[in-house]
Structure 1
């Protein structure tokens, strides 16, 4: 009886573990200048951090990504291409 109960509990634990979705994770260690060079990852990080700010607001990458986005939006002016006439 004990063996069958142990086997049943083991199978249930494996099933629950296999079916659960992996938790999204914020990468660690990116600087503001790194984010400015990697726009696609910056956008992905901003989306993840803004989707659950209660969980990620203290994460270093969320803070650095936010600062990079602020610098990107307030950055240097880009020349307007008026085309050739």
Structure 2
């Protein structure tokens, strides 16, 4: 009887661990880092804009958007319509 309970508890805890998000292995970059790395900034902005429902709360998307706003403040940049 005890073995059945232990087995149920073990499988339940294993199932629950699969329900939670795993820690992201991607490093979070600061706004100043994005300002120094234009290619990564553009790539991150592209990723975030392609799937905003998934990425809008991600720290890299927030920091990349802030860096893009700082980069373009007071300057005119060509708009890519494609």
Counterpart in the other structure of 2:42: 43
Count, aligned residues: 53
Task: Tell me which stretches of 4 or more aligned residues in structure 1 moved more than 6 Å.
Answer: none
Distance 1:73 1:35, change over 3 A: same
- Cα RMSD after superposing both structures: 2.3
Distance 1:40 1:75, change over 3 A: farther
Which structure 1 residue ranges, 5 or more long, are not aligned? 1-24, 77-85
Shift of the alpha carbon at 1:29? Answer: 1.2
State the TM-score, normalized to the length of structure 1: 0.56
Larger Rg: 1
Supply the distance in 1 between the matched residues of 2:59 and 2:70 (Cα, whole angstroms).
17
Question: What secondary structure sits across from 2:29 in the alignment?
Answer: coil
Deviations 1:27-77 (A, max 9, x none): 43100000000000000000000000000000000000000000000057x
Question: What secondary structure sits across from 1:58 in the alignment?
Answer: coil
Any conservation in 2 of the 1:28–1:60 contact (CA below 8 Å)?
A: no
Question: Does 2:34 align with 1:28?
Answer: no
State the TM-score, normalized to the length of structure 2: 0.58
